Amino acid sequence: MSPDIVVLNGSPENEQGNTAFLSQYLIKGLRDSGREITEIYLYDLKPGFCKGCHNCWKTGSCVYDDEISDVIKKIIKSNLIIWATPLYFCTMTAFTKMVLERVSPIISPFIEKDSHNEDHHYRKDNPSFGLFSTCFYPDIKHFDNLCQLFKDFCLNMNVDYNFELCIPAAPYLISYKDKYEKYFESIYETGKFYGKNNFVSKDLKEKTSEKIVDENDIFKYHNKMY
């Protein structure tokens, strides 16, 4: 039986990272809504990097018989894949990108033009994609490049992009978690709402994207650490 929602955690810190800590609020909300969740930590895997050979489109299977192939078999019939990654150098982590490149088997190899004369792959019964990301910086604008990359990928590959939650100032929030309980509660409520409705309300989007930490406090905290 395929999982309902798969969370692919691409942090090299695995369970000890900021991304894992904060995503647990989201995951708990999803579970409390009745959804079945499977978590996979990508840095635990031993992957082969995509060769761009498109053997998966010709034969239905990847040339690699490795742990990523096993993951793809598990997620191919799920309803939603949440790519959970910290922001590294304006984008996703290397392992997240590596696994993203290996998802070709869930995408149709055939291409057509839509009513707007844009090229897309033929639509298949693919899982939707979502993004959960964290970063040190205090402003959510730092996620713009990463979010646009996922939107472009989903558009070109004809995959629905229907979930996005980006959390700035993550290490600071966690260090002072008692002070930001209401914010963590909004992450939980986002998961619970999505689990019941398959979208996130405007109110919850605003609550999770508002700037709640002064950037000077962030810089002092960061400079003290390093």
CATH number at residue 32: 3.40.50.360
Task: For residue 150, give Cα distances in angstroms to 36, 59, 71, 158.
Answer: 24, 27, 20, 12
* pTM beyond 0.85: yes
Amino acid 210: pLDDT: 87
Tens digits of residue pLDDT in 173-211 = 999 999 999 999 999 999 999 999 999 999 999 999 888
Amino acid 144: pLDDT: 95
Amino acid 61: pLDDT: 81
Amino acid 3: pLDDT: 67
Among residues 198, 189, 184, 204, the alpha carbon closest in space to that of 32 is found at 189
- CB within 8 Å of 121: residues ≥ 6 apart: 107, 108, 109, 110, 111, 112, 156, 157, 158
Q: What angle do CA 214, 219, 220 make, to 5 degrees?
A: 100
Q: Which residue positions in the chain have pLDDT lower than 50?
A: 1
Q: Are 205 and 189 in contact (CB under 8 A)?
A: no
- Domain of residue 158 covers 5-225
- Exposed, middle or buried: residue 148 (CB in 10 Å: 0-12, 13-18, 19+)? exposed
**Structural domain total, the chain:** 1
